[in-house]
Amino acid sequence: MNLRPPTEDDLAEIAALFNAVSQKFYGLDGASEQLLRTWFTSPTTDVERNLRLAVADGTIVGYADVDPRSSNPTRCWAEVAIRRTADFDATAAALLEWVEARSLKEPEPALLRTSVLQPDEQMRRALSEHGYSLIRHSYTMEIDLGDTIAAPAWPE
């Protein structure tokens, strides 16, 4: 397995990776090529420096990014996704080691945070083995607005 920055040609496979993880735990897709393209081309995203793919036998088996926040001291956010058909433990170790090493390159690095899907016991275990600890729970919630949305009105 090797780690490398993603390219435009990888967008479909990265979206499929994120969606495979989301489908496994929630039965729905959470990524698209367009959404990833927007993230990768954002002026605040440095693809070469802050994003990595784990590639094994020509297939993308994992993704990681580091998003350093401009604060003093620096707080970094990381996202890690791993294909469940991969050697999960080896892929998680490689990506988490990269995330941690990348975060340490920031001036005055103080904190590295990530999130994990509640039912994802494999990822929780991998994070715990790397010294991460649970600090809080959060929920992603949604509402189906249907075909028509009522015009907003000021209260009387």
What does the pLDDT look like over 63-114, one tens digit per residue?
Answer: 999 999 777 788 899 999 999 887 999 999 999 999 999 999 988 877 899 9
Q: Can you give the residue ranges of every domain in the chain?
A: 2-129
Between the alpha carbon of residue 72 and those of residues 68, 103, 107, 117, the distances in Å are 11, 14, 9, 29
| Better-predicted residue by pLDDT, 12 or 140 | 12
Contact between 114 and 136 (Cβ < 8 Å): no
Give the chain's end-to-end CA distance (angstroms, integer).
63
What pLDDT shows up at residue 54? 98
Cα–Cα dist 121/22, whole Å: 14
- State the pTM of this model: 0.87
- CATH superfamily, domain 2-129, is Gcn5-related N-acetyltransferase (GNAT) (3.40.630.30)
Characterise 27 by phi-psi region: left (phi > 0), alpha (psi -120 to 50), beta (else): left
What pLDDT shows up at residue 139? 83
Residue with tokens 């000021």: 154
3-state helix, strand, coil in the chain (%, to 5): 35, 20, 40
What number is the average pLDDT over the span 126-132? 95
